[in-house]
Amino acid sequence: MKVRYLGHAAFTFSHDAHTLIIDPFLSGNPRAPLKPADVAAQYVLVSHAHPDHFGDAIEIARANNATVVSNFEIGTYCQSLGVAAHTMHIGGSHRFPFGTVKLTIAHHASTIPTDSGLLTLGNPCGMLVSMGGRTIYHTGDTGLFYDMKLIGEMNPVDLALVPIGDNYTMGVADAVKAVELIRPRAAVPMHYGTFDLIAASPEEFVSKVEKLGVASKVLEPGAEMEI
């Protein structure tokens, strides 16, 4: 299974003929190595409705005839725009042709700006994505919560993708504690450095995570790893 970082909290996951993109914030992302038109994917996963995560989901889904996978409210919003969507909710899992997706809690919000103000689209979530015999836990935008330990115990995680940028999500210290609770085989930092407000040191995260006995590395936007 190949994992490619696209900056901020956006990644592609690929195995065999299947490619997923999650939280596709590319337009307006100064660190994104791709434009929406460069993406080829069958599924678009969205953890919550904030523009830096929902991002280019509609454009990518339309261009690829892809299916959006998200919570019920985001999914039905996409359907109202003529895009195919599979709706889910927290605690639920579903088997797709590529593998499975399970939604977890995330402590954050899920709103999108409209002409009449902010529209709330359900609850934010994290996503456990299993494909090619591997499981990735994309925690979404979240603060630290103790149930991460339970999530890791019930769902052995090969790779955890964890925000470290602070202010809107966990900072480095809380993100390291999250890894300690989840106990994945490996962890990669995300959601940092896109804007000055979320500047953080990914090297500090990697150093502290490795002291826990968990493999870790910094992925630069555009870089890829196999798990």
Give the pLDDT score at 38.
Answer: 98
- 46-60 pLDDT, tens digit per residue, is 999 999 999 999 999
- 13-54 pLDDT, tens digit per residue, is 999 999 999 999 999 999 999 999 999 999 999 999 999 999
Give the pLDDT score at 136.
Answer: 98
Is the entire prediction scored with pTM above 0.75? yes
Reported confidence tier of residue 180, pLDDT bands at 50, 70, 90: very high
Q: Which three-class secondary structure string do you get for the chain?
A: CEEEECCCCCEEEEECCEEEEECCCCCCCCCCCCCHHHCCCCEEECCCCCHHHHCCHHHHHHHHCCEEEEEHHHHHHHHHCCCCEEEECCCCEEEECCEEEEEEECCCCCEEEECCEEEECCCCEEEEEEECCEEEEECCCCCCCCHHHHHHHHCCCCEEEEECCCCCCCCHHHHHHHHHHHCCCEEEEECCCCCHHHCCCHHHHHHHHHCCCCEECCCCCCCEEEC
